[in-house]
Each structure stands twice: as structure tokens, then as C-alpha cells.
């Protein structure tokens, strides 16, 4: 009899698990990934080897900017040299169209048809195209792909029912990936916690996520559950990759302009940084209105050049881009004014995609005539090793990169401890 009861209990547990698992799958907002058709598609950064998106998917784009209201500063034109590199030529072509008054924005192709499939065209324009590693080749093929389908959305993120001022003072946008749950949770429990801070200033947080590569386990059921539970996941149907971070930033711009257009400030950062949120808000709250409307601040890299070592993650072939980079704020974490989101998106329609997202942001802001401002509180290259356990040093900083989830929680507890004397 005891055996019978044990067996019955096991059957019941398995049944409950299957019901729960099936429920997760029913609520997943996209279909399973299809098998790749060839090697290039297998490593593709874009998700064109997938099945047709389900009816729950959506795609949103902001209206095309008015060509007569968009301009590119002389500062960027003088920084980027005219030469035979492919990206430089694409920029000059776009600028010529802009200067002639033609529509430089082109026409958005459907996501399933935006990729350049004519390899002969690329090989003609990039003489050593075949020497590029596969992911970089794929980036070139997808440079015109800008509006991927939305898999997980939070359309009500910047609106909450009830009395009081719902305006978003600071929108925190954190670049993450499907498997980084532990990092996201550490951020939620510490510096990325949503709520009303000093002086009634409201903070909201979103995590920006793509799709897992085909060779990785499919985490979509877990991510879908996480998105429903925490209501802070934004996911688009393109493959996670370092070379796709520019696309991720661009899709976030589209989302923010549609769903959070009145945010006063936006913080863009990685999921492995530590941020002293009260110090950040105090800094923003102290700004003069004229400065607050054109803010672009962080750890500024002012004299950077492309790295030509193929082993580097920041590798840029000479045939693709030539010349120095404009000054830019390191992508580990920087701030921009909410008022700059619309012109940022507009000018990004002119500036061709570049495979390093913080460099691309610097290019676009330079085109807008906005220069990055250095702030010693942003330490994207970390602080001196002997200071890394000193809580008083951290209490005076705004951002530090990199920290593990455990270190983030320890630092957060430490700098807010009533026992700390600095």
C-alpha cells in the first residue's frame, strides 16, 4: 500500500510539473528556432533563420524624421576622413544625399528581407571581404536591419495607475543577455531598484535582451516567466552578440520614444557595473536646466583609434573603417538627456551602423554637436586595486565596472550601512 501511495505521489508531481512547463510554453511570445541552412546563417547575428513570428509578436518603428530638420555637424564631418574604407564611403554617400535635400533615410525593409544577400556586391566594395571573420561578414550583411520583431515588451513601463506624478526622472536601460539572470537580479535588489528617490524623483528600469544563439540552450520559457514576474525585460528577435549591441541600442531608442518619451534622463549601462544610484540622482538633480537638456556624460575616451588586431573583440579591419574615433563615453555606463533621444534617433538614420556601440553613440552625438563630458565619478576601467575594498571610496563614486553579482550586493549594503563612517 505504501508503494502505491508513493507511486501516486510521484505521478501527481510529474503531472503538476508538466502543466506548469506547458503553461510557460503557451505564453512564450515567439516560435522555436529553425535549423540553419548553411554555415553563415548558423553564425548569423540576425534571426532570419527562424520561423515566422507568432501573432503575439509586434514590431514598432518611430516615424521617419523630417529631412529638413536633421543636420550633421562639421565636427563629425572633419573627424571622419574621406578615404576608400567601406564605412567611410557609406557615410559620405549618406551625407551627400542629406546635403542635396534627398531623403537620406531610405526605406525600412521588412525584417525578413533587410539583409544584403548579394555577396558579390559586398566583395566588390570590400576587396578583402572574404578575409573577415564570419560574424563581421554577417554584420556587414545586416547593416540595414534596424527594426527587429519585439518578443517581450513592457508598454506600460513608464505609466502607473494611481495618484501622484508618474513622470520618469531617470530611465535605467541595462544591456543584458538571456542567461544573465543572476546579474539582473543583483541589479534589481540594489542600484536598479525602481521607485521614488529623494525629492520625489521616479526611477524606472528595463533590461535590453536579444535572443540566444542557436548553439545555446533555449531559455525563452524562463525569460518569458521572468518578464511577466518583474515586468522589466525588453527582448527583440536578433541574436545576442557584441557586434549586435549597436542594433540593441537603436531598438531601445525606438522603444523609449514610443513608450517613455518624457524621461528626463537615460542611463545606459552593462549588467555587470555597480552604480551608486543616490549619488547619480543627486548629480542629475543639481544640474542647471541648460546643461540638463544636452547632457552626455561618463568616462570619456578622447583619443581612441580602431584596434587592428584580429584577436581583439574591438577589432576593426582597415578596409572597413579608417581614421580616429570621435571622443565618446565608455559603454559600461553613461548618461544622456531624455531631450536628446529624438535627435539621436534621427541622426542615427544618417550615420551607418558601426559594430562598436559606444563608439557609434559618440559618432551620433558628435553629429548632433554634443560632446561628451568627463566625470571622475564614472570609473569604467575600475579603480586602483588597493581601493577596491574601501567603502568610502565607493561612496563618492557614481559607477564602477566590473563587479560580480555578489560584489554588487556587498558594495550596496556597505555604502548604505548606518555603521559606515567616512
pLDDT digit string (tens) for 362-376?
A: 999 999 999 999 999
The per-residue pLDDT for 413 is: 97
The per-residue pLDDT for 82 is: 92
Choice between 400 and 198, residue whose per-residue pLDDT is larger: 400
**Would you say residue 331 has pLDDT above 80?**
yes
Domain segments of the chain as ranges: 150-377
- Average pLDDT in the chain: 85
**Which band of pLDDT confidence, cut at 50, 70 and 90, is reported for residue 59?**
low
**Which band of pLDDT confidence, cut at 50, 70 and 90, is reported for residue 65?**
low
**Which band of pLDDT confidence, cut at 50, 70 and 90, is reported for residue 281?**
very high
Q: What is the DSSP annotation of 1-13?
A: -HHHHHHHHHHHH
Distances (CA, A) of 134 to 39, 124, 125, 404: 9, 17, 17, 31
The per-residue pLDDT for 42 is: 33
**Would you say residue 30 has pLDDT above 50?**
no
- Per the CB < 8 A criterion, the answer to whether 234 and 252 are in contact is yes
- According to DSSP, the residues that pair with 1 across neighbouring strands are none
What percent of the chain has pLDDT above 70?
A: 81
Provide the 3-class DSSP secondary structure of residue 301: strand
The per-residue pLDDT for 176 is: 98
- Closest to 306 in 3D by CA, of 109, 85, 16: 85
**Would you say residue 44 has pLDDT above 70?**
no
**Which band of pLDDT confidence, cut at 50, 70 and 90, is reported for residue 151?**
very high
**Considering the domain 150-377, what is its CATH architecture?**
Alpha-Beta Complex (3.90)
What value does the mean pLDDT take over residues 39-62? Answer: 41
Q: Residues in the chain, how many? A: 422
**Which band of pLDDT confidence, cut at 50, 70 and 90, is reported for residue 214?**
confident
The per-residue pLDDT for 164 is: 55
- Give 48's contacts (C-beta < 8 A, 6+ positions apart): 41, 111, 112, 115
Lowest mean pLDDT among 33-37, 115-119, 163-167: 33-37
The per-residue pLDDT for 7 is: 39
What value does the mean pLDDT take over residues 213-217? Answer: 88
Measured CA to CA, the distance from residue 335 to residue 277 in angstroms comes to 12
**Which band of pLDDT confidence, cut at 50, 70 and 90, is reported for residue 12?**
very low
The per-residue pLDDT for 31 is: 36
The per-residue pLDDT for 113 is: 87
**Would you say residue 14 has pLDDT above 90?**
no
What percent of the chain has pLDDT above 90?
A: 76
**Which band of pLDDT confidence, cut at 50, 70 and 90, is reported for residue 64?**
low
- Give 373's contacts (C-beta < 8 A, 6+ positions apart): 295, 296, 297, 300
What value does the mean pLDDT take over residues 340-362? Answer: 96
**Would you say residue 54 has pLDDT above 50?**
no
The per-residue pLDDT for 160 is: 66
The per-residue pLDDT for 47 is: 38
**Would you say residue 277 has pLDDT above 90?**
yes
- Give 410's contacts (C-beta < 8 A, 6+ positions apart): none
| Residue showing cell 538627456 | 337
The per-residue pLDDT for 10 is: 37
Choice between 105 and 84, residue whose per-residue pLDDT is larger: 84
What value does the mean pLDDT take over residues 67-96? Answer: 91
Amino acid at each position: 500500500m505504501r508503494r502505491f501511495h508513493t507511486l501516486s505521489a510521484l505521478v501527481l508531481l510529474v503531472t503538476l510539473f508538466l502543466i506548469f512547463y506547458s503553461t510557460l510554453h503557451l505564453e512564450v511570445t515567439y516560435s522555436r528556432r529553425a535549423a540553419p541552412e548553411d554555415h553563415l546563417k548558423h553564425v548569423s547575428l540576425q534571426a532570419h533563420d527562424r520561423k515566422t513570428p507568432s501573432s503575439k509578436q509586434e514590431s514598432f518603428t518611430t516615424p521617419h524624421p523630417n529631412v529638413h530638420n536633421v543636420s550633421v555637424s562639421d565636427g563629425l564631418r572633419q573627424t571622419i576622413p574621406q578615404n576608400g574604407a567601406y564605412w567611410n564611403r557609406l557615410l559620405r554617400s549618406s551625407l551627400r544625399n542629406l546635403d542635396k535635400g534627398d531623403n537620406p533615410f531610405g526605406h525600412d525593409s521588412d525584417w525578413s528581407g533587410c539583409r544584403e544577400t548579394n555577396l558579390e556586391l559586398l566583395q566588390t566594395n570590400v576587396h578583402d571581404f572574404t578575409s573577415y571573420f564570419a560574424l563581421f561578414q554577417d554584420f556587414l550583411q545586416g547593416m540595414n536591419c534596424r527594426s527587429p520583431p519585439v518578443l517581450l515588451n513592457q508598454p506600460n513601463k513608464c505609466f502607473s495607475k494611481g495618484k501622484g506624478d508618474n513622470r520618469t526622472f531617470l530611465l535605467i536601460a541595462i544591456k543584458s543577455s538571456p542567461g544573465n539572470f543572476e546579474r539582473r537580479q543583483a541589479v534589481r535588489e540594489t542600484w536598479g531598484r525602481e521607485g521614488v528617490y529623494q525629492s520625489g524623483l521616479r526611477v524606472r528600469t528595463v533590461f535590453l535582451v536579444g535572443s540566444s544563439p542557436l548553439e545555446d540552450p533555449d531559455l525563452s520559457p524562463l525569460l518569458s516567466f521572468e518578464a511577466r514576474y518583474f515586468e522589466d525585460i525588453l527582448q527583440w528577435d536578433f541574436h545576442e552578440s557584441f557586434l549586435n549591441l549597436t542594433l540593441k541600442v537603436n531598438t531601445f531608442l525606438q522603444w523609449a520614444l514610443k513608450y517613455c518619451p518624457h524621461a528626463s534622463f537615460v542611463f545606459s549601462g552593462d549588467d555587470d557595473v555597480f552604480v551608486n544610484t543616490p549619488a547619480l540622482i543627486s548629480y542629475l538633480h543639481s544640474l542647471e536646466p541648460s546643461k540638463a537638456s544636452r547632457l552626455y556624460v561618463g568616462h570619456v575616451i578622447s583619443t581612441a583609434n580602431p584596434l587592428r588586431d584580429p584577436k581583439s573583440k574591438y577589432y576593426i579591419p582597415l578596409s572597413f573603417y579608417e581614421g580616429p574615433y570621435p571622443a565618446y563615453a565608455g559603454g559600461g555606463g553613461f548618461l544622456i538627456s531624455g531631450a536628446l533621444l529624438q535627435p539621436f534617433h534621427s541622426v542615427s538614420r544618417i550615420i551607418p551602423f558601426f559594430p562598436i556601440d559606444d563608439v557609434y553613440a559618440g559618432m551620433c552625438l558628435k553629429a548632433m554637436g554634443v560632446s561628451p563630458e568627463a566625470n571622475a565619478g564614472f570609473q569604467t576601467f575600475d579603480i586602483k586595486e588597493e581601493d577596491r575594498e574601501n567603502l568610502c571610496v565607493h561612496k563618492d563614486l557614481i559607477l564602477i565596472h566590473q563587479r560580480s553579482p555578489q560584489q554588487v550586493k556587498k558594495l550596496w549594503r556597505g555604502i548604505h550601512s548606518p555603521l559606515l563612517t567616512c
